[in-house]
């Protein structure tokens, strides 16, 4: 069964249009189940009807013409119940509805299974037979399994318009793609698609500017690949049998003009650039191999893919990476990383869109810090069709609009104006203190990672740095930076912010933060070798970094604070403290005059919450990393768009944990802050102030909004709100209540609920 399933899905994936895909589905199901009839009905949401879309065994002429209302017939019944309906004698069922054009009168056995994607019924799969019998359990299970898999394929196809109902790409291209809000703001611009090197499937379609030159590039890449294959074959000739060496010959043949090369050149001559043409040809060959019955031949699909990657790598190494970006660049990628957008001149970069990831991914956090509107996790976005296309990024609502219409452009231009007016209004708060209406002082610090943030942060009145993500510098390098290089960078930061507090976090890699030169391959990276776990295992890295931090402060005299990420036990704290003390002693011994930094711990995992008191006894301060704490408390991957709805900062368990940490720190009379994204949410900030956080550290973009919120409430009132909230048992109720309080306090403009057209 698995084998049949796999093949059907592959065939469907490589179909040209939805009609063909559905035809394949009904044909294969009919064969596999040996049933007389198989049909697919798809829901047309505009008309609220199930349309008879594909069939084997009934009147083919009715396909596309007949439809049933939502509550009509057995198909409507399956959709309504969102459950399979298995009947031995369908015409006797009270919901049976006879449709003459379809011609189903001789059929008695009926099994209908809903096609459901993300809780929504997309359609119904039906099999029928003349005999009076119930389909057995294994048949039902087969259809349910197939339908669950097909739902994703159909939803994707319909969303991207690549498989529109009528088969034409231009007919139904969805223009609004829902993802997750990454960084607030709106951008109206032009898509620039960026793709990782040698990743064939992410290469976009692009028009060749010079067809002849593209052909030359392609020919050269093929020649280099041929040489590489011959060299490999020579090298292995004494270790492999002659028949095995035949594989290399086969590779060489595939590159002939009569095979892949000829097809690629034809596509280039039709106007594609070489990389796009290569992708299209390789993908179509791989799809046909993978649909083959014979297991050996199916495997050859992998060889073709390998060959394609090799040629692509050559092509990419001979082409300069893009050097010019339009003035209104919106960078789009399958999986954007911080280093990808670092290449684009800041003044040209208006927005970011990533197919993978969520609002708590690191790329989104950096984007927030830099004030770049961003949408993450737009899984249905057909990025290969977007190069140079006009695009709107709505970083509030988390959606991307392709082919924007006049209405949409007007709506978003107005939104941009509103935003500008709001920001202008906030400007006047820059030099005002962050105090509540009844005089309670809250410290507003910033999270940073790039030197470019500094002037922006200071300009917005940052009173210190609550989190400097040192790994950003490591991630943009192609080897570990030396102690001296680190010292120079840290010194720049310290100088920019002195005499304020600057909290430098020791290297926090692992999870979703990878160093290209220090790969960590793990099944479950967020529960793996991350943060302090890596650096304690590599004391040489830790010691060099801490020494660089302390030495960087010599003569600068900012308040340097060193902070440890991902701590889950006191032994880690003791060990790290020992190493920091060792560094400091060495530096003093060398004659430097520099103060011992404060040392603190991030509370990011539930274990650290419940040991907060034991931890703070050992250090000078605590800082809650709510991004990770929420992920670990709620068991919700912060990068997974599919569960992003469950990632709730107002979850009662999270709020109670935060209060627990505040009480632990204050019981020891030590300060604590919070440096996750939650601190930058004005509504959450009111609750955090009420809990007793001394410092709220956030991306500089949100700083003035949070200041506005703090200055609009009395601490007494905030505490009353908190007390009520702590008695509530779900995040939705809390959010509605807190947003309501914000509106009452005159902060409606920052509690967003704007619906785009």
Would you please indicate which residues are annotated as catalytic (active-site) residues?
A: 362, 675
Nearer to Mg ion, 401 or 450 (CB): 450
CB of 680 to ligand PEP, least distance (A): 11
Nearer to ligand PEP, 562 or 747 (CB): 562
User: Binding residues for Mg ion, how many (CB under 5 A)?
Assistant: 3
Nearer to ligand PEP, 240 or 342 (CB): 342
Give, in degrees to the nearest 5, the angle at Cα 29 between 28 and 30: 90
Residues 6+ apart with CB under 8 A from 192: 322, 325, 326, 329, 330, 331, 332, 344, 387, 388
Tell me, letter by letter, the H, E, C secondary structure of 389-438: CEEEEECCCCEEEECCCHHHHHHHHHHHHHHHHHHHHHHCCCCCCCECCC
Nearer to Mg ion, 123 or 625 (CB): 625
**Residue sitting closest to Mg ion (CB):** 628
Which residues bind to ligand PEP, rule: CB under 6 A? 365, 467, 469, 508, 604, 625-628, 675-676
CB of 570 to ligand PEP, least distance (A): 20
Under DSSP, is residue 510 helix (H, G, I), strand (E, B) or coil? strand
Q: Pick from 139, 397, 628, 637 the residue near Mg ion by CB under 5 A.
A: 628
CB of 700 to ligand PEP, least distance (A): 15
Selected range binding Mg ion among 82-90, 221-229, 261-269, 619-627, rule: CB under 5 A: 619-627
Tell me, what DSSP letter sits at residue 639? T
Give the up-direction half-sphere exposure of residue 94: CA atoms within 13 A in the CB hemisphere. 0
CB of 628 to Mg ion, least distance (A): 4
Under DSSP, is residue 127 helix (H, G, I), strand (E, B) or coil? strand
Nearer to ligand PEP, 225 or 699 (CB): 699
CB of 467 to ligand PEP, least distance (A): 5
Please report whether residue 625 would count as binding Mg ion according to CB under 5 A: yes
Report the C-alpha gap between 355 and 330 in whole angstroms: 13
Selected range binding Mg ion among 463-471, 598-606, 728-736, 748-756, rule: CB under 5 A: 598-606
CB of 244 to Mg ion, least distance (A): 49
CB of 361 to Mg ion, least distance (A): 12
Closest C-alpha to 389, from 377, 375, 378, 401: 401
Q: Which does 146 bind (CB under 5 to 8 A by kind): ligand PEP, Mg ion, none?
A: none
Q: Which does 675 bind (CB under 5 to 8 A by kind): ligand PEP, Mg ion, none?
A: ligand PEP
Selected range binding Mg ion among 302-310, 404-412, 450-458, 604-612, rule: CB under 5 A: 604-612
The Cβ of residue 252 has, within 10 Å, a number of other Cβ atoms equal to 15
Nearer to ligand PEP, 114 or 466 (CB): 466
Omega of the bond leading into 499 within 30 degrees of 0 (cis): yes
Q: Which does 381 bind (CB under 5 to 8 A by kind): ligand PEP, Mg ion, none?
A: none
Residues 274-313, mask of contacts with Mg ion (x by CB under 5 A) = ----------------------------------------
Phi, psi of 312 (to 5 degrees): -60, -45
Residues 6+ apart with CB under 8 A from 479: 517
Nearer to Mg ion, 335 or 604 (CB): 604
Q: Which does 90 bind (CB under 5 to 8 A by kind): ligand PEP, Mg ion, none?
A: none
Q: Which does 365 bind (CB under 5 to 8 A by kind): Mg ion, ligand PEP, none?
A: ligand PEP
Q: In this structure, is the dihedral angle defined by the CA atoms of residues 155, 161, 162 and 165, taken in order, positive or negative?
A: positive
Q: Which does 467 bind (CB under 5 to 8 A by kind): Mg ion, ligand PEP, none?
A: ligand PEP
CB of 702 to Mg ion, least distance (A): 18
What stretches of 428-482 show up as alpha helix (H) in DSSP?
Answer: 453-459, 471-475
Q: Which does 384 bind (CB under 5 to 8 A by kind): Mg ion, ligand PEP, none?
A: none
| Burial bucket for residue 287 (CB in 10 Å: 0-12, 13-18, 19+) | middle
Q: In this structure, is the dihedral angle defined by the CA atoms of residues 187, 191, 192 and 193, taken in order, positive or negative?
A: positive
Specify the DSSP element, H or E, that contains 560: strand 559-564
Nearer to Mg ion, 275 or 361 (CB): 361
Q: Which does 290 bind (CB under 5 to 8 A by kind): ligand PEP, Mg ion, none?
A: none
Report the C-alpha gap between 151 and 72 in whole angstroms: 22
Adjacent-strand bridge partners of 393:
187, 400
What is the CA 445 to chain-centroid distance, rounded?
A: 27
Residues 6+ apart with CB under 8 A from 611: 569, 570
Residues that bind Mg ion (CB under 5 A): 604, 625, 628
């Amino acid at each position: 069964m698995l084998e049949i399933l796999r093949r059907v899905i592959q065939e469907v994936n490589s179909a040209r249009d939805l009609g063909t895909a559905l035809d394949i589905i009904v044909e294969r199901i009919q064969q596999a189940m040996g049933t007389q009839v198989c049909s697919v009905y798809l829901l047309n949401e505009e008309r609220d009807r199930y349309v008879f879309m594909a069939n084997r065994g009934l009147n083919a002429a009715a396909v596309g013409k007949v439809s049933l209302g939502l509550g009509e017939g057995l198909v409507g019944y399956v959709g309504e119940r969102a459950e399979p309906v298995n009947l031995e004698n369908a015409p006797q069922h009270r919901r049976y509805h006879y449709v003459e054009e379809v011609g189903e009168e001789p059929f008695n056995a009926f099994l209908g299974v809903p096609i459901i994607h993300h809780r929504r019924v997309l359609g119904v799969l039906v099999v029928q037979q003349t005999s009076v019998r119930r389909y057995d359990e294994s048949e039902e299970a087969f259809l349910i399994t197939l339908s669950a898999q097909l739902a994703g394929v159909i939803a994707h196809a319909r969303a991207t318009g690549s498989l529109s109902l009528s088969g034409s790409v231009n007919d139904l291209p969805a223009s609004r793609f829902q993802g997750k809000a990454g960084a607030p703001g709106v951008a109206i611009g032009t898509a620039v698609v960026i793709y990782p090197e040698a990743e064939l499937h992410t290469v976009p379609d692009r028009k060749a500017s010079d067809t002849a030159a593209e052909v030359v590039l392609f020919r050269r890449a093929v020649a280099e690949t041929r040489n590489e294959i011959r060299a490999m074959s020579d090298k292995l000739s004494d270790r492999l049998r002659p028949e095995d060496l035949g594989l290399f010959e086969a590779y060489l043949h595939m590159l002939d003009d009569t095979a892949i090369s000829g097809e690629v050149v034809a596509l280039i001559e039709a106007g594609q650039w070489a990389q796009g043409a290569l992708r299209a040809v390789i993908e179509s060959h791989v799809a046909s191999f993978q649909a083959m019955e014979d297991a050996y031949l199916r495997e050859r699909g992998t060889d073709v893919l390998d060959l394609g990657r090799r040629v692509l790598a050559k092509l990419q190494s001979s082409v300069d990476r893009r050097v010019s970006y339009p003035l209104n660049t919106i960078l789009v990628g399958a999986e954007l990383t911080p280093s990808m957008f670092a290449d684009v001149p800041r003044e040209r970069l208006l927005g970011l869109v990533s197919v993978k990831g969520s609002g708590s991914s690191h790329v989104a956090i950096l984007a927030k810090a830099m004030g770049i509107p961003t949408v993450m996790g737009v899984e249905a976005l057909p990025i290969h069709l977007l190069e140079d296309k006009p695009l709107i990024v709505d970083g509030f609502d988390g959606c991307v609009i392709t082919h924007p219409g006049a209405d949409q452009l007007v709506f978003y231009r107005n939104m941009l104006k509103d935003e500008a007016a709001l920001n202008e209004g906030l400007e006047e708060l820059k030099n005002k203190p962050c105090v509540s209406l009844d005089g309670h002082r809250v410290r507003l610090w910033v999270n940073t990672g790039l030197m470019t943030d500094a002037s922006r942060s200071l300009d917005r009145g940052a009173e210190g740095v609550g989190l400097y993500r040192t790994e950003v510098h490591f991630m943009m390098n192609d080897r570990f930076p030396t102690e001296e290089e680190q010292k120079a960078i840290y010194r720049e930061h310290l100088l920019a912010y002195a005499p304020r507090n600057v909290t430098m976090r020791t290297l926090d890699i692992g999870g979703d933060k990878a160093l290209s030169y220090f790969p960590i391959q793990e099944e479950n990276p967020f529960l793996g070798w991350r943060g302090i776990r890596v650096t304690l295992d590599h004391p040489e890295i830790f010691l060099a970094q801490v020494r660089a931090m302390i030495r960087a402060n010599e003569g600068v005299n900012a308040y340097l604070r060193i902070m440890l990420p991902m701590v889950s036990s006191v032994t880690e704290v003791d060990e790290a403290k020992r190493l920091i003390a060792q560094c400091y002693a060495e530096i003093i011994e060398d004659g430097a005059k520099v103060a011992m930094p404060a040392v603190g711990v991030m509370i990011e995992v539930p274990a650290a919450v419940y040991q907060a008191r034991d931890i703070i006894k050992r250090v000078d301060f605590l800082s809650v990393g709510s991004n990770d704490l929420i992920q670990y408390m709620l068991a919700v991957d912060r990068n997974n768009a599919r569960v992003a709805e469950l990632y709730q900062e107002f979850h009662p368990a999270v709020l109670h944990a935060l209060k627990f940490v505040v009480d632990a720190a204050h019981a020891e009379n030590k300060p604590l802050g919070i440096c996750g994204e939650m601190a930058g949410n004005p509504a959450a900030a009111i609750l955090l102030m009420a809990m007793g956080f001394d410092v709220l550290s956030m991306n500089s973009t949100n700083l003035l909004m949070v200041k506005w919120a703090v200055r609009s409430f009395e601490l007494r009132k905030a505490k009353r709100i908190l007390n009520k909230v702590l008695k509530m048992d779900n995040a939705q109720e809390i959010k509605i209540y807190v947003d309501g309080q914000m509106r009452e306090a005159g902060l409606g403009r920052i509690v967003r609920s704007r619906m785009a057209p």
